[in-house]
Amino acid sequence: MGKGYSTEEIREKLITILDDTVSGMSGVEIAEKIGVNRITMSKYLKVFAAEGLLRQKNIGNVTLWFLEPGQESFNFPDDYFKVGPQYLEYLVKGTEDQVYSLIRNCLHSGGTVNRLILEVIIPSIDHVKKLFDDGKIGTSEQNLLMTTISKSLQIFNQMQIVSDTKKNIVVIAADAQSRLYSEAASAVYHSDGWKVSHLGDMSSSINVLFDLDFQKLIGKIWKQKPGILVVVVFSQTDQGLNFFADSINPIKEKSGKQMKLALYGKVSKKTKIRSDLTSEKIEDILQWSQTVSQNLK
């Protein structure tokens, strides 16, 4: 805190002050403009530089501070509706730097990981998939856009979060098409304090030895069986959900009520798959997981 300002308020004031200058400003000038102690301001400047909001340039004995390109401040929750279209525009027509700056700006402005992923990232994944299905982009461009989205999600995963050892989750993608959805869910779980083990695309592991391999992994990551372990499988097909459910359910039965299985995907009415939850909505999976963890306490 500086002169009663919160970190978010200082960040907003910095953006406003530095956005109007092309020659940069010294720490002393910034401190005077904002009305914050010079030493305190110096600490804030270093933190904001580490976050990617600022860059510094040393000229002689003077350090000048500049705003990194593409910085802007949002007012959440009112501005969530703006971010989705802007992210998609930067993704399809802009540059990677614009995409990543937008996500960082949202986090700096107090946007929540849950809403940014559910209202911005996942609709963008769906949109890119539709562009490809409609023949408007080719495989190369689809892969490029999906890689950029994946890198966006890494920004959320880089946030320093203290995980709860009683909240354990394993996230599996049954096919390449489900990988980004599984990454998105993993980022939300990470931000909510879960101890996340994201296995990525496991389609190459669909074989008769998977159940033994998976049981060995569970023995390592959930050794003392603290709290609960939730396994979430993402799949675009019934076959993928069937295989992983059939392989995981026997392990789940041996582990008792502390292990849960959730499946994300569209399942035909004729298909019967055993799980604690099956849904086509990621928000349902996330909410259910939260409820399960709360019931543990």
Cα–Cα distance between 37 and 31 in angstroms, integer? 6
Kindly report the CATH number assigned to the domain that includes residue 38.
1.10.10.10
Instruction: Give the residue from 109, 127, 157 where a domain finishes.
Output: 157
Asked if residue 58 and residue 130 are part of one domain, the reply reads: no
Peptide bond into 77 cis (omega under 30): yes
Residue 84 lies inside a defined structural domain of this protein: yes
Count how many residues are written for the chain. 297
Asked if residue 141 and residue 97 are part of one domain, the reply reads: yes
Asked if residue 255 and residue 144 are part of one domain, the reply reads: no
Residues of the chain with pLDDT under 70: 1-4, 297
Asked if residue 236 and residue 129 are part of one domain, the reply reads: no
Question: What is the three-class DSSP state of 61?
Answer: coil
Residue 88 CB partners (closer than 8 Å, separation 6+): 123, 124, 127
Instruction: Give the residue from 113, 130, 157 where a domain finishes.
Output: 157
- For the whole model, what pTM was predicted? 0.83
Question: What is the three-class DSSP state of 72?
Answer: coil
Asked if residue 215 and residue 120 are part of one domain, the reply reads: no
Asked if residue 61 and residue 117 are part of one domain, the reply reads: no
Number of H helices, E strands in the chain: 12, 8
Asked if residue 98 and residue 33 are part of one domain, the reply reads: no
Task: Tabulate helix, strand, coil % of the chain (nearest 5).
Answer: 55, 15, 30
Asked if residue 100 and residue 145 are part of one domain, the reply reads: yes
Contact, 215 vs 155, CB < 8 A?
no
User: What local confidence, expressed as pLDDT, does residue 47 receive?
Assistant: 86
User: What local confidence, expressed as pLDDT, does residue 109 receive?
Assistant: 85
Residue 13 lies inside a defined structural domain of this protein: yes
Cα–Cα distance between 272 and 102 in angstroms, integer? 42
* Domain count within the chain: 3
Helix (H) or strand (E) holding 260: strand 259-264
The boundaries of the domain holding residue 119 are 80-157
Asked if residue 180 and residue 281 are part of one domain, the reply reads: yes
Residue 162 lies inside a defined structural domain of this protein: no
User: What local confidence, expressed as pLDDT, does residue 3 receive?
Assistant: 55
Kindly report the CATH number assigned to the domain that includes residue 87.
1.10.1240.10
Instruction: Give the residue from 134, 157, 180 where a domain finishes.
Output: 157
Kindly report the CATH number assigned to the domain that includes residue 183.
3.40.50.280
